[in-house]
Amino acid sequence: YNIIIAENEEEEVVYAAEELQHFLYEATGVEIEIVTNYSGDTVYDSENEYFILGSLADEKGYAGLTTDTGYKMVKDGKTFYLYGKTPLATLNAVYAFMNTALGLEFFTSTDYKLNSKAELIVGMEWTDVTYNPDIDYNWSCDGSLLQGEKKQNVINSARMGFVYKDVVSDVS
């Protein structure tokens, strides 16, 4: 697998790619490269193994997304598309994917549970998910905890307050 993001992607999507890379490695021991040298002429074959995030994944369409923090998780062949209408929604999609595929669950921004024996996901049964939260922008903190520490605030907010649906029951 490779994680594919646009060259000039938003900070939250870059962070989502880094989180996906980190937790996939921790769960499986497989090092996955983040590829950012996308050009508009590049075509990704769905039979190859990619995680395509953010603005590159939106080719799958926003149909059904009605909230800013809602997201889609779509599998086409061996490729996973994780995205939403906003960069924070893409981060939500990545956390929801890792919750489903790896059993990742946060108790604090640094304490979590992870299935360390997770198989990498090529053959897993999958049902595509479109999720719109009832309350948009349901974050755990508003950034006032660590003034001047934007990245740490994003980490704390995203890990503790990502909007998700219990998608395990949606996966066959």
Cβ atoms 68, 86 nearer than 8 A: yes
The predicted structure's pLDDT at residue 148: 52
Is residue 172 pLDDT above 50, yes or no? no
pLDDT in tens, 61-91: 777 888 888 899 998 888 889 998 888 889 9
Q: How many Å apart are CA 71 and CA 82, to the nearest integer?
A: 8
SS3 35: strand
pTM, 2 dp: 0.79
Per-residue model confidence as pLDDT tens digits over 145-158: 444 555 555 666 66
Instruction: Tell me the pLDDT band of 57, cut-offs 50, 70 and 90.
Output: confident
